[in-house]
């Protein structure tokens, strides 16, 4: 089963993508992971991507698609995969559809996790991170044993700039402009499945499995 995860930043699509991939026993694929793996391994595609990233530029859609298609050519993707964070725009979705059709494949489901903006701002504002060991917490859902202190290494916790309300609002604006149109794109393809992301993580997971028919 080939699945694309959709949803605003902080909607929980990464968490659900990993769980769905585990349940279906297929790879969970994010473009960030693909970039890092190719750069670490020194591949030709990875070095090309690194040249853009080092210059502070976005990796072009054509190169991103090359990296994605190279990844799904792997033997572990024969039974499907779960895309997390790709495609992000209509041009990327159209290019992916064309590339998949040339392989005789198609997207089976685009799963959209719906969460109102105000809920996302509240969720992300409650995140806390340990800059020393990388552990993450949430003041409401996964609080540290001692407020403001990392359970793992004892360092102080911080609210990352990415999670501050003003930054989250900007990220949501970009999402609504660039990525939300994908909902209609996949609805028109007849493969959109929408889940209520305001529920408990386990309830959202169960709802998605029902939508996928697994």
Query: Which sequence positions are flagged as catalytic?
Result: 13, 88, 127, 160, 171
- Closest by alpha carbon to 9, among 165, 209, 128? 165
- What tokens appear for 199 in the block? 């529920």
Provide the pairing of β-strand 109-114 with 192-196.
Answer: parallel
Hey, is 9 helix, strand or coil?
Answer: coil
- Overall size of the chain counted in residues: 214
Give the rounded distance of the alpha carbon of 121 from its chain centre: 17
DSSP-assigned beta bridge partners for residue 114: 196
- Cα–Cα distances in angstroms (integers) from residue 141 to residues 18, 138, 144, in the given order: 19, 5, 10
């Amino acid at each position: 089963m080939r699945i694309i995860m959709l949803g605003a930043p902080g909607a929980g699509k990464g968490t659900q993508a990993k769980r769905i991939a585990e349940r279906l026993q297929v790879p969970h694929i994010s473009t960030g992971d693909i970039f890092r793996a190719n750069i670490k391994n020194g591949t030709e595609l990875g070095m090309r991507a690194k040249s853009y990233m080092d210059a502070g530029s976005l990796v072009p859609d054509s190169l991103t698609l090359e990296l994605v298609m190279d990844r799904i050519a792997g033997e572990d993707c024969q039974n499907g995969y779960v895309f997390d964070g790709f495609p992000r725009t209509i041009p990327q979705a159209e290019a992916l559809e064309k590339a998949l059709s040339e392989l005789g494949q198609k997207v089976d489901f685009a799963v959209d996790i719906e969460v109102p903006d105000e809920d996302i701002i509240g969720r992300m504002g409650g995140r806390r991170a340990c800059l020393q060991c990388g552990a993450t917490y949430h003041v409401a859902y996964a609080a540290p044993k001692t407020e403001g202190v990392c359970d793992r290494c004892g360092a102080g916790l911080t609210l990352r700039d990415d999670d501050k309300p003003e930054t989250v609002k900007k990220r949501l604006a970009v999402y609504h402009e660039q990525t939300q149109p994908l909902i209609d794109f996949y609805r028109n393809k007849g493969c959109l499945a929408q889940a209520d992301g305001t529920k408990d993580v386990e309830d959202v997971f169960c709802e998605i499995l029902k939508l996928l028919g697994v």
